[in-house]
Amino acid sequence: MADELFKALADPTRRLILDELAERNGQSLFELCTRLATKHGLGLTRQAVSQHLAVLESAGLVTARREGRFKYHDLDTRPLQRIAARWLSPKPPEGTP
């Protein structure tokens, strides 16, 4: 799972998508495409953004929910928290009981 997470985070476009969802959760594909174009000057197709979202979903960083005919995307920070805890949580020194 960690490999998928790092692969997802390695791409700058995916990091921008995560930034946009952190700023405003629950966006549709259309909203994300619009924000990426207007705020960041990215002229990505909806299909390209959808593919990036699929990678983020498989890494557990984005969840999608359907409401009617629309699909909304939400940021899930739990995988990042697990990775941070992996290296940042205090561990007892070696040799101590």
Give the model's confidence band at 2: pLDDT under 50 very low, under 70 low, under 90 confident, else very high.
confident
Q: What is the pLDDT averaged over residues 8-14?
A: 97
Question: Looking at the domain assignment, is residue 65 inside a domain?
Answer: yes
Measured distance CA(20)–CA(75) in Å, rounded: 9
Measured distance CA(71)–CA(81) in Å, rounded: 25
CATH of the domain at 45: 1.10.10.10
Q: Give the structural domain span for 76.
A: 2-87
Question: Looking at the domain assignment, is residue 6 inside a domain?
Answer: yes
pLDDT for 96 beyond 80:
no
Q: Output the pLDDT for position 97.
A: 61
Question: Looking at the domain assignment, is residue 37 inside a domain?
Answer: yes
Based on the structure, what is the number of domains in the chain? 1
**Kind and range of the H or E run holding 10:** helix 2-10
Question: Looking at the domain assignment, is residue 92 inside a domain?
Answer: no
Residue 96 identity (one-letter amino acid): T
pTM, rounded to two decimals: 0.86
The pLDDT tens digits for 31-89 are 999 999 999 999 999 999 999 999 999 999 999 999 999 999 999 999 999 888 888 87
Question: Looking at the domain assignment, is residue 48 inside a domain?
Answer: yes
